Structure 1
Amino acid sequence: MITVSTDGSCLRNPGGAIGWAWANHDGSSASGGHASGTNQVAELMAVLEAIRSHPGDEPLVIQADSQYAIKCSSEWVHSWKRKGWRTAAGGPVQNLALIQSIDAAIAQRPGGVSFVWVRGHRGDEFNERADELAGIAARSVRDDAPARATAAEPDVLF
């Protein structure tokens, strides 16, 4: 089993620089950022990049402090698909392209993907590492320095 912690950062929500990161519990990690986004986009980017960066048959467990990212990726997505990508109230799903990319990445991965919520900023070593990397990436983008990115950027951000 592969266990990865993810996190996102937005320096001014909404519209500020964002950073995303994943930290594998084996010590490897990746992060990146974009000039503008939201907390939710950053959290979803972290999940997407974690899945894309860990292909294969081995089960993947994603630990995240974002209940939004977890529920979008593992719960709400099923009813949204049944309803033609509409919410229960009939409105459009926010961050649709990212959520569809996550859904496709999970479907294409031979090994299962599961999610575990962890309380953020409570001393969990890997959650803290992902938080640190996401913040560094967001600040790098804000400061016009190239953000460290070791995982592929998605074709569609939002």
Structure 2
Amino acid sequence: MIIVSTDGSCLRNPGGAIGWAWVNHHGPSRSGGERSGTNQIAELRALLEAILAHPGDEPLLIESDSQYAIKCASEWVAGWKKKGWRTSSGDPVKNLDLIRDIDQALADRKGPVRFRWVRGHVGNHYNEEADRLAGEAARAVAATATAAHQPARTTPTTPPATGAATTGSPAKKTRQVRRRPVRPVDPEPALFDLPAESKELTLF
């Protein structure tokens, strides 16, 4: 059985840079990030990347400290599909693109996938490592975005002496392109109380 821990991070929830990561308990790890998102988007992305990175028919167990992500992938998705991707209250499902991608990845994988909830920040080595990698990825994306928005630096030049000849054509002025701000994402729904013990969910 392959066991993988996943985690997501958002520096300023919602709308800040996000990072995701997965850690194979007996193999490699991987992480990445995006400029804007929510904690929930980061957790879902970590789940999706873990599934896609472990194809084949060997059973896969994914551990996550996000009950939201686990329930999206296992408990809630069937009902949402029957209702045309709407919740029981009739509202559109949030983060639908990611949830659809996870559902498709699970359907495409030959081997079974199970999810197990673990409590975060209690010394679980693999969960802590996934948390560290996700946080680093989010900070790296945020730093890159900040650098891209910094104004261009100019170096002062000394004008030529009166009557001195100049060669070449005058330098062209460069126009700095301002990136459009990313549209904020809908805030995540209210969190619910976490159970005292780990809960394992099985997909059929």
Quick check: TM above 0.5?
A: yes
CA distance in 2, matches of 1:26, 1:58: 14
SS of the aligned residue for 2:131 comes to helix
SS of the aligned residue for 1:89 comes to coil
Identity %: 69
Name the residue aligned to 2:39: 39
Name the residue aligned to 1:118: 118
* TM-score relative to the length of structure 1: 0.91
Asked if residue 19 in structure 1 is aligned to residue 2 in structure 2, the reply is: no
Runs of 4 or more above 3 Å deviation: none
Letter matched to residue 118 of structure 1 = V
CA distance in 1, matches of 2:21, 2:27: 13
Name the residue aligned to 1:74: 74
Cα deviation, residue 130, structure 1: 0.3
Alignment of 1:112-151 (within 5 A): 112-144=112-144
CA distance in 2, matches of 1:133, 1:55: 22
Structure 1: 5+ residue stretches without partners: 146-157
How big is each residue's C-alpha offset from its partner over 1:35-55, in whole Å with a ceiling of 9 and x where there is no partner? 100000000000000000000
CA distance in 1, matches of 2:116, 2:62: 6
Name the residue aligned to 1:57: 57
Cα deviation, residue 27, structure 1: 3.5
Letter matched to residue 62 of structure 2 = I
Name the residue aligned to 1:83: 83
Q: Answer 1 or 2: higher relative contact order, Cα 8 Å, separation at least 6.
A: 1
Name the residue aligned to 2:167: none
Cα deviation, residue 31, structure 1: 0.2
CA distance in 2, matches of 1:114, 1:78: 16
Name the residue aligned to 2:202: none
How big is each residue's C-alpha offset from its partner over 1:44-87, in whole Å with a ceiling of 9 and x where there is no partner? 00000000000000011000000000000011001001111000
Greater share of helix: 1
The Cα RMSD (Å) is 1.0
Name the residue aligned to 1:28: 28
SS of the aligned residue for 2:130 comes to helix
Q: Which has the larger radius of gyration?
A: 2
Letter matched to residue 136 of structure 1 = E
